[in-house]
Amino acid sequence: MPQATPVIDINYGAPGYIVNFVLFSALFVFNAVVYIRSRLQAKRFADHCVYLPNENQTQKGYRPSRLGRSCRALSVIFLIWMQCSLIITFLSNYQHYWPYSPGKGEENKHVTWDSFTRAFLLPWITTFLLLVGLRRHHSSLAIFYMCPCSLERATHVKVHSSIEDENGNRQDFEDVVPVSITARNLRMIEWQLLRYVYCSSKDAFTSDPQYDNDDDEGMKVERDITGVWANEMHRKGGVSSEMASVMLDGPQGRNEITVHIPSILEGCVTEFFSFFYIYQFFAVTLSFYWDYVSVGLMMSLLVLTCGVIKVYTERMQRLKMKEMATLDETILVFRDNQWKSVDSHEACVGDILCLTSKLEDEDAENENHPHHRPLLTADCILISGSCVVDESLLTGETMPIQKFAVSEDKRVRIPDSAEHKKHFLFAGTCLLHAGGADQTELPDHVSEGGLAIVTHVGPRSTRGILLRTLLFGSSTRLHIVAEAQFVLALLVFIAFWDFLAVNLNYEFNLSSVLAATFMLISMVSLLLSVAVQGSQLASAQRLNRKKPAKETREQEEGEQASADETIQIYVRDVDRMALAGKIDLMCFDKTGTITKTGLDLIGFLPASNKSETRASWEELHPLEGYVAGGEELDELLAAALALTHTVSRLGKQLIGHQVELRMVEAAEQLGWKYEEGMKAANEWTIVKQWTFDHQTMTMSVLTAKERGDEKKNLVFVKGSFEAVSTRCSPKLDDKWRRAVELHSKRGCYIIAIACKNVDDDQILTISRQQAESSLTFLGLIAFRNEPKVDSADCISQMQHGGVECVMVTGDSALTGVAVAKTVGIIPEDHFVFVGKLDDKKNLSWTQVVSEERKPAGEKDAESGRAAESARDGEKTREEGKRDDERDESSMKTSLVVSGDVFEHLLNNGSMGEFLHCRKSCRVRGRSTCECPRIRVFGRMTPHQKVQVVREFANNMRTVGMCGDGGNDSGALRSAHAGLALSGRAEASVAAPFSTDSDSLAALTLLLREGRASLCTSFAAYRFLIVRGIVWTQAKNIMFLIAGLYLPPLGYLYLDLVSTSLFLWAISLSKPSSRLSPRIPEGSLLGPQNVISATISVLLYLSILGILLAVLFTRSWFKPFQSGDALYKWQTRSDNYESPLFFIWAIWFTVDLAIVYSNGHLYRLPWWKNMALIVVSVLMATPILLLLLLNGTDYNCAFKINCDMITYFKISSSPVNKILFPYERIGGNEWYAPSENTFYSHNFKVVFLVVLGLGSLFHAVVYSKVILGPVVQDWIPNRLKWNDSSAQILFELMSLKFHHVYSLLQTSLFSCFFKFGGKVPMQREDQDMQPMTKSSYSNE
């Protein structure tokens, strides 16, 4: 007999391994030398690191070195060798041929499996550790192999900056940027779209280098924008071509915003070079080595597909951002004493720009002509003429806006100031009309236009600053990413004990180590990276989808189509979809949001009325009475109505402020005829205009009237009653103040009118201050802004849905109160108190008395107590008096503040106690709270609106903002979810969400989709987590029983097909048809997520135990025993046990997907998710057939109810031609303990009954316990386990102790109340807890 070839076992002492260990050690030492050398050199150069306090930025200089290049090249070669050795080991293991030693061929074929495993483990673990280390320190990787040097000699600069965005969030940025040299030998870097030029005086790169030499004027970037500077530039003739060349090559740069669009390859490298994808690489490579090739390939394909889709989605968003940033127009600038047409990218600060929308050439009507309604390409200040612009793309403001020339003074003009905006034209806005400039100053071919001076270009423009905020500002999103790390840590902890259990049973051999490792990989699904985002993308796509309003039968009958069918919402920031589902407080603008966009002029209160009776001076004289001829309006009041405006006409459309538009329209109804230009009407001519001033709150015109020989000059002034009354002489009677308050309470917007005679010799010299002094009062004009038809209903839906509603308006507080009561923001039975400051800044609360409710008789005591409540900030507990003995009517109080009171409370640090329920009202739900708190903010500036949003967010609220753009754009971006109404259903910097609808139904639709997205995200995540835990424990049981495995096709069906399809189907759950009265849970560690997952895990494992117990007691059952090694897993599925595990696994996967898709309050029921139904049927039907049938080819392909003869027969099946060798069905060896593995009929019945009862029990427990009052109400309210306490647990586990105290203090507020403690704020609705400030992250 020939002698048998001995089996060779190669360990780590072999020469090949020794060589690799030596190479790795040498490379490690080499890298250590480079690192130590770099650290020593950094200490030698004092100017290597420079901190710029003004820019809050640190810069470090580096340049390449030969030693570093050599070390990097060797490191890359070694890493490539690790990957090559992995591939070689894979292929060699499949061929059973050892490739690393030059022995005889026959000897290399008899190397043990452990030897191949050692060869696999070395590069596998090394690669994993190297990738983790590189990812952990990727920011320093670019300069690791460079040597430190001074910034003056550096070729690369490491920049670290800390930036606070407009939301008040601070974020750190760090990157390495190359140094470039311009044509003028300027050394500069580009950081977050801005150019930084090396300045020798600062020995650093700065975005605004300062030079004392006038010749370097072109190097200045920031300057004070004043009327004097603008007009001086005009007189100097703007910027010369030579100076423009200097500026374009200097720190200003070209007038463009360069948004970097990474290539698909670059985006994929960035996406896949993350910890989660490194883990996936770790898992997939193990699959290949474990002869799990098909699953490895399919999982690789799935992971790559998901990653590429995510990269593509982000790339499309980036392209959309680039499209928003790109402005390519031809502009007219005055350079070298002549007008030139230049590309807009060449505009420079100081250029004189010709603004025109009307030309005299034949191309004027061509829409492709560069001057046909062009987009402005730079920020500029108007110096001559006037303009009308459309700012909807920038601010969301849908109405055209007028711009006026700046006066020549030294006041610094700030573009984002409400007072100065009227002089600035912003990049990205559409020029509708320009005119009024001197014709001699315009180009010859321009018949009408205006002149402006460029003030900011490129990324320094207002548009550029907003885009930089979007690109580099902190991203507001749920804290699910951080919580997921805690969940993953918990899974690793469970997996560790499973790993120990398996290996202790198999004595820690290489087979058991890899088998246990492969088992643990199933604990953390590779699909977790897309589980959360999938539902958000699905919701965003439903909102983005264009929904034309089709003429249905119901519409023909006069019924209105539902919001879901007609409203389109553009989602700019997908990550905020889930945040929209957590909103518990909604801030509303008034005009254009709750009310209609336009105002209606409803009447006058003329001062010429001589009656002294109360009924007479309070009576409003309606406009219709004057139009019909029943009354005659006072001549001067009528002239003021017609002339006190800045309205212009664009074609047939009047352009201007809503108040002035209604005044002009009313004047036309009264018979006034305007000439072209709107500067003259009837016998009157406007000589001079002073536009509205936000400081004086007035607007005035100087007019002249000529009738024959009669000529007189009058100044007409309009403005707020407070501003006009203080300028009148003699002092007005107090009855006018009472009249203003009366009509404001009725929801009217009141302006006062006054006039003054001016002598002829004063016309040219009179100043605004002189013109607006010693006025004669003419009367009041009343306007009303009616609420939209559906505003009250939509606000009622939101309040029913647990969302508290407040109004934040720029109008007067009393007008806001009237509208708030009309739409239900302030309940009708509430006492309303408005805060006022006296001259000494003392705050007092005055009751707003309506005609329907007056504090008389028995009401006096109640209103007195309510006022005391407002002053003290909370109800005073009476000694020994029970809560239920208190008079509830005394607590029904709403507070109203104006901008000055808001600032006062904010500066005193007492704002928080006026924003929240104090638990004294004992009413369930914030939206129905009756405690004294602020529900209306009036006279709020745009900045104060942002502050209101921040203040609520800082007090643990998830805040939404709804407005119509314009002054609301800052608050819309600051809120967790901001919706701009009546804007454009396309990308806009105005808000994260925008719609072209003007109905608040769009807001309720967004909230419903947000809640559905949030619940679906948690359901998908919980589905993968529970399935991973249950299946891993099942695998552990299989190993402990007898080293059992599923058949190869079983793994493909279970791990690849079913999980992916169910995850996709779950994400397609649609929102419920109405807002639920409870806000969904917002934490992975909340009671619903934790308890439901725990019950599911225990139930499924209990069902498995019952089935195994039933199986083991059957008389025909024979336990499986195998003498093969554990790594020969394909031989360990011919038995009775493995089919049971497989059928049970498919059952619990289907059951889990259906149960977790329970619609409950936020989503439609699972049976309305057609995708889920189809997938469930497709997945369950084949498995049901496997259980019921016996001995078919189909059964033997899955080794379920199979017999030996059929198994041998199907080995010749043509299906095997497309399968890998280990996956092929059939064979010539049968490993089962008997000739077949048929289940008896009785066992099949018991099997189905147990599974059916398990599904029924799970559905009942989930619907009655998890979604019932126990988990939804009792646990959060009684046990205080809610989003806040879950966040405390997370903070404790994360060791963030500086957050724990404030969170713990908040959660214990209710306990303090039981002992009579006074606290500034209460959490009152524990069943719908909002997120804390730290429960959403700015990442």
* pLDDT value for 1073: 86
pLDDT band at residue 382 using 50, 70 and 90 as cut-offs:
very high
Task: Please give the average per-residue pLDDT across 738-751, as a whole number.
Answer: 83
Quote the mean pLDDT of the chain: 80
Query: Cβ distance 691 to 404 under 8 Å?
Result: yes
pLDDT given at position 563: 55
Any idea which of 231-240, 911-920, 1132-1141, 1195-1204 has the lowest mean pLDDT? 911-920
Q: Which residues pair with 699 in a beta bridge?
A: 718
Task: Return the minimum-mean-pLDDT range out of 232-241, 589-598, 1184-1193.
Answer: 589-598
Write a three-state SS string for 1113-1169.
CCCCCCCCCCCCCCCCHHHCCCCCHHHHHHHHHHHHHHHHHHHHCCCCCCECCHHHC
| Mean pLDDT calculated for residue range 934-939 | 90
**Range 1019-1028 burial, b when 16+ CB lie within 10 A, else e:** bbbbbbbbbb
For residue 1321, pLDDT over 50 is answered with no
Please count the residues of the chain. 1339
Residue 1, pLDDT > 50, answer no
Q: Which amino acid, residue 590?
A: K
pLDDT of residue 169: 64
Q: ω into residue 730 within 30 of 0, thus cis?
A: yes
Whether residue 417 is predicted with pLDDT greater than 80 in this model: the reply is no
- The residue ranking higher by pLDDT, 371 or 311, is 311
Mean pLDDT value of segment 818-831: 88
pLDDT at 513: 86
User: 54-63, 698-707, 1084-1093, 1139-1148 — which one is most confidently predicted on average?
Assistant: 1139-1148
pLDDT of residue 930: 64
How many CB atoms are closer than 10 A to CB 302? 17
Number of Cβ within 10 Å of residue 303's Cβ equals 21
Confirm if 1110 and 1250 have CB atoms less than 8 A apart.
yes
Q: Coil, helix or strand for 874?
A: coil
Q: Name the residue with higher pLDDT: 198 or 1283.
A: 198
Band (pLDDT 50/70/90 cuts) for residue 1332 is very low
Q: How confident is the model at residue 556 (pLDDT cuts 50, 70, 90)?
A: very low
pLDDT band, very low/low/confident/very high, at 1250 (cuts 50, 70, 90): very high
Q: Residue 410 — pLDDT band, cuts 50, 70, 90?
A: confident
Question: Is residue 616 very low, low, confident or very high in pLDDT (cuts 50, 70, 90)?
Answer: low
User: What does the angle CA 679 – CA 683 – CA 685 come to, to the nearest 5 degrees?
Assistant: 30
The pLDDT-based confidence of 1245 (bands split at 50, 70, 90) is: very high
pLDDT band at 564 (very low <50, low <70, confident <90, very high): low
pLDDT mean over 1137-1141: 93
Report the pLDDT averaged over residues 250-264. Answer: 84
Q: What is the pLDDT of residue 481?
A: 66
pLDDT in the model for residue 555 = 41
Higher-confidence position of 140 and 242: 242
What the block records as the tokens of 546 is 């264009």
Tell me the average pLDDT across 332-343.
Answer: 90
* Structure confidence by residue, pLDDT tens digits, 1156-1181: 998 778 999 999 999 999 999 999 99
Alpha-carbon span 1253 to 1242, nearest angstrom: 16
Mean pLDDT, residues 132-152: 85
- pLDDT band at 359; cut points 50, 70, 90: very low
Q: Does the pLDDT of residue 361 top 50, yes or no?
A: no
Lowest mean pLDDT among 557-561, 987-991, 1139-1143: 557-561
pLDDT at 1219 over 70: yes
- More confidently predicted of 882 and 654: 654
Question: Looking at residue 267, what is its pLDDT?
Answer: 84
pLDDT band at 918, cuts 50/70/90?
A: low
- Mean of the pLDDT values across residues 795-820? 88
How far apart (Å, rounded) are the C-alpha atoms in residues 41 and 385?
61
Separation CA 952–CA 926 (nearest Å): 14
pTM assigned to the model: 0.79
Phi-psi region of 922 (alpha: psi -120 to 50; beta: other; left: phi over 0): left
- Is the pLDDT reported for residue 322 higher than 70? yes
- Cβ partners under 8 Å of residue 447, min gap 6: 358, 359, 360, 439
Is residue 479 scored above 80 in pLDDT? no
Q: What is the pLDDT of residues 1057-1071, one digit of tens each?
A: 898 899 999 999 999
pLDDT by residue (tens digit) across 582-613? 898 999 988 888 888 777 888 898 887 654 54
Most confident of 918-927, 1039-1048, 1236-1245: 1236-1245
pLDDT above 90: residue 1140: yes
pLDDT of amino acid 222: 65
717 backbone dihedrals φ, ψ, rounded to 5°: -125, 135
DSSP-based three-state secondary structure for 258: coil
Q: State the SS3 of 644-694.
A: CCCCEEECCEEECCHHHHHHHHHHHHCCCCECCCCCEECCEEEEEEEEEEC
Chain segment 993-1031, per-residue pLDDT in tens: 888 888 899 999 999 999 999 999 999 999 999 999 999
Which residues face 787 on adjacent strands? 595
Q: Are 826 and 932 in contact (CB under 8 A)?
A: no
Q: What is the pLDDT of residue 297?
A: 82
- DSSP state for residue 400 in the 8-state scheme: -
**Cα–Cα distance, 7 to 1211 (Å, whole number):** 30
1246's CB contacts (< 8 A; 6+ apart) are 1110
| Average pLDDT, integer, range 467-489 | 73
27-80: pLDDT as tens digits: 999 989 988 888 888 887 777 888 888 888 899 999 998 888 899 899 899 889
pLDDT of residue 625 exceeding 60, the answer is yes
Q: Is the pLDDT of residue 859 over 80?
A: no
The residue that leads in pLDDT, 726 or 94, is 726
549 pLDDT band (50/70/90 cuts)? very low
Q: Name which residue leads in pLDDT, 757 or 969.
A: 757
More confident call, 519 vs 23? 23
Whether residue 446 has pLDDT greater than 90:
no
pLDDT at residue 1054 tops 50: yes
Confirm if 208 and 222 have CB atoms less than 8 A apart. Answer: yes
**What pLDDT score was predicted for residue 408?**
82
Tell me what the mean pLDDT of segment 1301-1316 comes to.
39
Neighbours of 1141 (CB within 10 A): 24
Confirm if 725 and 737 have CB atoms less than 8 A apart: yes
Share of the chain above pLDDT 70, in %: 83
Which range is most confident: 506-515, 633-642, 687-696?
633-642
Question: What pLDDT, on the 0 to 100 scale, is given for residue 887?
Answer: 43
Minimum mean pLDDT range among 538-547, 665-674, 1083-1092, 1110-1119: 538-547
**For residue 974, pLDDT beyond 90:** no
Nearest to 128 by CA among 170, 183, 86, 157: 86
pLDDT of residue 478: 63
Q: Which of 587-601, 721-735, 837-851, 1289-1303 has the highest mean pLDDT?
A: 721-735
Distance separating alpha carbons of residues 1049 and 1055, to the nearest angstrom: 10
